[in-house]
Structure 1
């Protein structure tokens, strides 16, 4: 898709802004990214989901999501009802009525970059009759959603969702949607860092909140003693966390950790 010079400059500015964030500020950079793209789309809600393949083979064929699960998420603006039902959603991703027809449809295309509007994935008249829609989306007035999904590797996919909730039936503009898709497709490196910051890509177990704090501090110039002071733990306890983190990433030191982050 061709863009005008003005639009191309918007893309370049966004790339520069992302690259300016320190490597230990992945979440802050992600919020900035979603805020910017949400403005371009004029969306009401925006959030990121990290998807992991946990089942394959015959078992995946029987699974509504083809063996994929949301393992981590970061919101810019998230409908409150998703927060209220978060645990229920996470625990029941194997049930079609929990994940909904649109999520089932988007994951049938796993393995390729894709930009899909809600109306491209489902028959809206039927979707709006579903218990999934009436329970989770009708209460806040969802009228449109776009999924932009980027494979990070064979077993991880990065999904950005943007939503409109409007009494006037407002829909996403296709030109703006394609622009946002181009922006996200071009920052696969950043989406990989998001996964790494949660302990994924190199493993299938997400970090605890403490592990995540420490791994991000390890990407700074702080010593282990300074990290221990910042997180309020003994130096010996912090060192045990650090060695465990290195083990998860298959490295022996900070240089190895940084090499994975920048690779």
Structure 2
């Protein structure tokens, strides 16, 4: 890889490490905007993927093999995000790619992995081609056997091997970032994903704000806010903010 690219990526890592635990949204956007316009990138997405437990119903024809997208972020809302196809997935070769080598760090792209006729298919045109997307590269980072962090970059041209190598390198060296991002959505460590309101309460909890201030900022009753805080603690298996913060410091909860 070009030394200038390596230095730029290292500087990006330094920037990301400066974001506080409650700033995961801003950090994610910074990572995405770093790539906007480079190599013809039109849009970037992040998805937190989780595997259904054995007790959860998946259906007899589950094309996602018990995996589900539990949280999503997108850089450009005016470009129809391709992740919408995951809400009601249909059988297509593009769904087979992310399910290969589960549990291992990996990257893959449409032009490298899929046959040329796929780019003439109605599925491709409906979800990608009609939106100006000619190629896409995805990087998957497993946090454990049931949880993975996926970044996708969508381009208006075929992505070169050098471009794919840059994406892969940039996302391979920041396991801590993937972990913080998943934690902020109640994934990996929580017993179930956070609701949208719990997600907003969590961000303010991590700033040290008291419950009354959180209630005022979110327009909630103090009693309702307290219920959300209790639910968050329960989902993460802790009893206090100190225990919650210890998860972001990659430690065992101090009060579990």
TM-score normalised by the shorter chain: which range applies? Answer: 0.7 to 0.9
Give yes or no for contact 2:190–2:237 (8 Å, CA) kept in 1. Answer: no
Find 2:44's aligned residue among 43, 46, 54: 46
RMSD value, Cα:
2.4
Over residues 104-132 of structure 1, what are the superposed CA-to-partner deviations in whole Å (9 max), with x where a residue is unaligned? 2221221111111212221022x123332
Aligned: 1:144 with 2:135: yes
Within-5 A mapping of 1:155-174:
155-165=146-156, 170-174=157-161
Over residues 135-175 of structure 1, what are the superposed CA-to-partner deviations in whole Å (9 max), with x where a residue is unaligned? 2222113211111111111111111111112xxxx321222
Relative to 1, partners in 2 of residues 1:145 and 1:204: Cα closer, same or farther, differing over 3 Å? farther
Aligned: 1:227 with 2:223: no
Structure holding more helix per residue: 1
Find 1:116's aligned residue among 108, 117, 123: 108
Within-5 A mapping of 1:174-213:
174-203=161-190, 205-213=192-200
Aligned: 1:103 with 2:95: yes
Equivalenced residue count is 248
CA–CA distance in 2 between the matches of 1:177 and 1:23? 29
Instruction: Give 1:21 shift.
Output: 1.1
CA–CA distance in 2 between the matches of 1:32 and 1:246? 29
Give yes or no for contact 2:111–2:158 (8 Å, CA) kept in 1. Answer: no
Q: Compute the TM-score of the two structures, normalised by the length of structure 1.
A: 0.85
Give yes or no for contact 1:117–1:146 (8 Å, CA) kept in 2. Answer: yes
Within-5 A mapping of 1:241-260:
241-260=228-247
Unaligned 5+ runs, structure 1? none
CA–CA distance in 1 between the matches of 2:168 and 2:80? 26
Q: Compute the TM-score of the two structures, normalised by the length of structure 2.
A: 0.88
Relative to 1, partners in 2 of residues 1:60 and 1:204: Cα closer, same or farther, differing over 3 Å? farther
